[in-house]
């Protein structure tokens, strides 16, 4: 309950804040005018962003996520600039000053985080446009009036709620694909972001409005850090908020006590479920029993990395089976082409991953970093061995066998619980980013264990070009992540939905249809559901079929999870509740013109690198840390 009030408090704050922004920035502009005579100053107003910044209370944010927020922050500020001046980007000679202003702002929240160096942004990028378009007028003359009108209709409203937000982003993605496809990938103000920047600028509430910032820039979390300059506003806001809070408390008291009894009943049911799980859970904060293995130990365990011990291969390197001296069996993931420089971050991330323990997640046992004269620098992860292969093997592989309905139910439910734990049980929350059938491992009892969580941040794409390259595997990646690089827990929900459909139908995420064409499983399943044939999704010849109503419910949940519009998808929490209780599946919102009707469209907007076959991250899978200097600076 108290958490709920806290959220309410924040959102109240926001409502008032956005009203005060315009006057505050006017004052600031006046102040600036008095002092801008000598050197080139940055015309961008970073103060509005300051009010939205998530502060240092999440020190564990990884570099990739931080850089992503940095980038989204620039876009928000540029959008304000567009709104007030009609220009997308500031003059080139102010680029340096703008980065400095931004750096000053960032320093107030995180120390020692050089945004340009760490995230790989070039100085000029902040002042470069897309396809020579720098003004609002140029943008509007490049786009058809129908498209502009669609944006005005869909995006010039409060974007606070899911359905207006979804219709706005859908409009923008089609505009982007039609008019701004492909060019100048790698710029901060790249073509991918232009429609978002434009839409936020023409929105009647403006870019800094909480709904707009959340919907278009995925800048959701806010923490107010009072400074002397605007203490008065903050006090005023606080006073008003608190009075509202008190009013609300009074009103909700009544409602609360009426609900309470119902909730107690529900809680009792949930806690029973949790105690079942507790056997597999360990406290997240308990000191992790992570082992720092020596290279010799690993070598012995894997019989010197014998070929016979290879149980998996990927772009990142091989996975070996190993046996420790005490006869426990382990899986050894050996990254290739590593350099020493990223070891510290590697060790930190490993600690984070290791602190996450759940019966439906593969447990990390330890790691190893070492440099040997013969083999070079080594970076290795050691996890428990899950013996029964992956879901992919069972559905599509050489060991393909006909999984019965009860086993499939168990796999769906366990996977959902594992993901729920990553999203809500882990501190900090972990977005998997690469959920696919080959990352769902099965033990002898067919209990699923999600593997490789937390590893996607080891991809080089995480470090640079955040918006344009995406970690993940073709067919499983949520459209908003592929198109905008917008990464949230709901991108995982999408991938979960796709795996879930594979599990139900025995068909692959990218289904082969005639003449070499592919079709997304989610489009296929959706069209069956729309025609009232949900049960046709279920694989032919499945044994021990369940109750038709339950099977239909599972299909609907899977289709809902893999909905192309982010806000139509449930959270993992809701998914687990739908599995566990009689909670009905909400009606599935209509789909927009399929964002990814055509795979080529994704390829065009995602990749400058031509090597997309099968894997959006280009060279595929996990890598060692990227060495910055090798980037295209």
- CB nearer ligand NAG, residue 164 or residue 186: 186
Residues 466 and 71 sit within 8 Å (Cβ to Cβ): yes
Is residue 131 near ligand NAG by the rule CB under 6 A?
A: yes
Structure tokens at 54: 């998530």
CB atoms within 10 A of CB 116: 18
Is residue 363 near ligand NAG by the rule CB under 6 A?
A: no
Which range in 182-190, 209-217, 377-385, 486-494 contacts ligand NAG by CB under 6 A?
A: 182-190
Which range in 19-27, 43-51, 179-187, 259-267 contacts ligand NAG by CB under 6 A?
A: 179-187
Q: What is the smallest separation between the CB atom of 124 and ligand NAG, expressed in angstroms?
A: 8
Q: What is the smallest separation between the CB atom of 79 and ligand NAG, expressed in angstroms?
A: 13
Residues 561 and 500 sit within 8 Å (Cβ to Cβ): yes
Is residue 55 near ligand NAG by the rule CB under 6 A?
A: no
Rule CB under 6 A: which of 561-620 touch ligand NAG? none
Is residue 36 near ligand NAG by the rule CB under 6 A?
A: no
Q: What is the smallest separation between the CB atom of 289 and ligand NAG, expressed in angstroms?
A: 46
Q: Is 231 exposed, middle or buried (0-12, 13-18, 19+ CB in 10 A)?
A: exposed
Residue choice 18, 48, 150, 184 for contact with ligand NAG (CB under 6 A)? 184
User: Between helices 2-35 and 210-217, what is the axis angle to 10°?
Assistant: 90
Q: Per DSSP, what are the bridge partners of residue 371?
A: 377
Q: What is the smallest separation between the CB atom of 150 and ligand NAG, expressed in angstroms?
A: 11
Q: What is the smallest separation between the CB atom of 203 and ligand NAG, expressed in angstroms?
A: 7
Which range in 128-136, 305-313, 335-343, 488-496 contacts ligand NAG by CB under 6 A?
A: 128-136
Is residue 141 near ligand NAG by the rule CB under 6 A?
A: no
* Alpha carbon 116 to its chain's center: 22
Q: Is 264 exposed, middle or buried (0-12, 13-18, 19+ CB in 10 A)?
A: exposed
CB atoms within 10 A of CB 299: 19
- CB nearer ligand NAG, residue 186 or residue 448: 186
**DSSP letter at 424?**
I
**DSSP letter at 308?**
G
Instruction: Give the position of tokens 């015309």.
Output: 43
Which range in 18-26, 123-131, 137-145, 581-589 contacts ligand NAG by CB under 6 A?
A: 123-131
Is residue 126 near ligand NAG by the rule CB under 6 A?
A: no
Is residue 621 near ligand NAG by the rule CB under 6 A?
A: no
Is residue 129 near ligand NAG by the rule CB under 6 A?
A: yes
What's the CA gap between 598 and 619, in Å, rounded?
22
Q: Which of 62, 434, 452, 492 is catalytic?
A: 434
Residues 208 and 63 sit within 8 Å (Cβ to Cβ): no
> Could you give the C-alpha distances from 213 to 40, 52, 57, 147, in angstroms and in order?
29, 9, 20, 22
Q: What is the smallest separation between the CB atom of 15 and ligand NAG, expressed in angstroms?
A: 18
Q: What is the smallest separation between the CB atom of 186 and ligand NAG, expressed in angstroms?
A: 4
Residue choice 187, 210, 318, 360 for contact with ligand NAG (CB under 6 A)? 187
What's the CA gap between 43 and 90, in Å, rounded?
7
Is residue 128 near ligand NAG by the rule CB under 6 A?
A: yes
Pair type for strands 364-372 and 291-292: parallel
Quick check: helix, strand or coil at residue 383?
strand
State the binding string over 190-219 for ligand NAG (x if CB under 6 A, else -): ------------x-x---------------
Which range in 54-62, 72-80, 183-191, 316-324 contacts ligand NAG by CB under 6 A?
A: 183-191
Enclosing H/E stretch for 548: helix 548-561
# binding residues, ligand NAG (CB under 6 A): 12
Enclosing H/E stretch for 368: strand 364-372
Backbone angles phi, psi at 384, to 5 degrees: -60, 150
Q: Is 93 a catalytic residue?
A: no
Q: What is the smallest separation between the CB atom of 82 and ligand NAG, expressed in angstroms?
A: 12
Q: Which residues are catalytic?
A: 434
Q: Which residues bind ligand NAG (CB under 6 A)?
A: 128-132, 152, 156, 184, 186-187, 202, 204
């Amino acid at each position: 309950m108290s958490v709920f009030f806290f959220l309410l408090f924040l959102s109240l704050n926001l409502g008032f804040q956005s009203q005060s922004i315009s006057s505050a920035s006017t004052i600031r502009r006046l102040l600036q005018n008095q002092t801008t005579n000598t050197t080139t100053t940055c015309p961008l107003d970073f103060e509005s962003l300051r009010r939205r910044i998530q502060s240092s209370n999440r020190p564990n944010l990884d570099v990739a996520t931080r850089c992503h927020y940095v980038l989204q922050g620039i876009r928000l500020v540029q959008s304000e600039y567009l709104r007030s001046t009609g220009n997308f980007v500031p003059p080139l000679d102010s680029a340096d000053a703008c980065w400095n202003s931004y750096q000053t702002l960032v320093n107030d929240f995180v120390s020692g985080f050089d945004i340009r160096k760490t995230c790989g942004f070039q100085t000029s990028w902040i002042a470069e446009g897309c396809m020579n378009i720098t003004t609002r007028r140029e943008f509007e003359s490049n786009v058809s009036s129908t498209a502009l009108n669609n944006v005005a209709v869909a995006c010039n409203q409060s974007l606070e709620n899911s359905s207006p937000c979804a219709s706005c982003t859908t409009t923008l993605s089609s505009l982007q694909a039609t008019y701004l496809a492909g060019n100048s990938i790698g710029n901060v103000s790249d073509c991918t972001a232009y429609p978002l920047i434009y839409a936020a600028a023409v929105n009647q509430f403006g870019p800094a409005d909480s709904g707009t910032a959340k919907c278009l820039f995925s800048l959701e979390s806010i923490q107010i850090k009072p400074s002397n300059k605007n203490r008065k506003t903050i006090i005023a806001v606080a006073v008003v908020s608190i009075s509202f809070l008190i009013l609300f408390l009074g009103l909700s008291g009544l409602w609360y006590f009426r609900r309470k009894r119902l909730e107690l009943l529900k809680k009792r049911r949930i806690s029973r479920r949790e105690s079942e799980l507790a056997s597999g859970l360990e406290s997240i904060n308990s000191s992790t029993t992570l082992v720092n293995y020596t290279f010799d130990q690993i070598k012995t365990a894997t019989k010197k990395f014998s070929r016979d011990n290879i149980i998996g291969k990927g772009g990142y390197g091989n996975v070996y089976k190993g046996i420790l001296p005490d006869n426990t069996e382990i899986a050894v993931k050996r990254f290739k082409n590593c350099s020493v420089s990223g070891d510290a971050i590697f060790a930190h991330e490993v600690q984070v991953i290791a602190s996450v323990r759940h019966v439906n997640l593969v447990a990390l046992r330890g790691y190893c970093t070492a440099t040997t004269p013969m083999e070079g620098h080594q970076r290795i992860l050691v996890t428990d061995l899950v013996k029964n292969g992956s879901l992919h093997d069972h559905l599509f592989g050489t060991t393909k066998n006909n999984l019965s309905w009860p086993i499939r139910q168990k796999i769906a439910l366990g996977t959902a619980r594992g993901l729920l734990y990553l999203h809500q049980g882990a501190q900090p929350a972990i977005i998997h980013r690469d959920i696919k059938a080959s990352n769902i491992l099965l033990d002898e009892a067919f209990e699923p264990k999600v593997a490789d969580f937390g590893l996607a941040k080891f991809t080089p794409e995480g470090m640079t070009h955040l918006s344009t390259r995406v970690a993940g595997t073709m067919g499983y990646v949520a459209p908003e992540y592929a198109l905008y690089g917008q990464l949230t827990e709901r991108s995982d929900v999408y991938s979960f939905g796709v795996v879930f459909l594979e599990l139900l139908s025995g068909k692959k995420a990218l289904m082969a249809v005639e003449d070499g064409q592919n079709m997304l499983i989610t489009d296929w399943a959706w069209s069956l559901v729309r025609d009232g044939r949900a049960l046709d999704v279920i694989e032919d010849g499945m044994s021990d079929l369940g109750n038709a109503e339950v099977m239909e419910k599972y299909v609907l949940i899977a289709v809902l999870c893999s909905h192309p519009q982010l806000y139509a998808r449930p959270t993992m929490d809701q998914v687990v509740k739908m599995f566990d209780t009689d909670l009905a599946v909400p009606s599935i919102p209509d789909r927009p013109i399929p964002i990814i009707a055509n795979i080529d469209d994704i390829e065009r907007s995602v990749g400058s690198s031509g090597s997309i076959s099968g894997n959006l991250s280009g060279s595929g899978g996990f890598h060692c840390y990227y060495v910055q200097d090798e980037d295209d600076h």
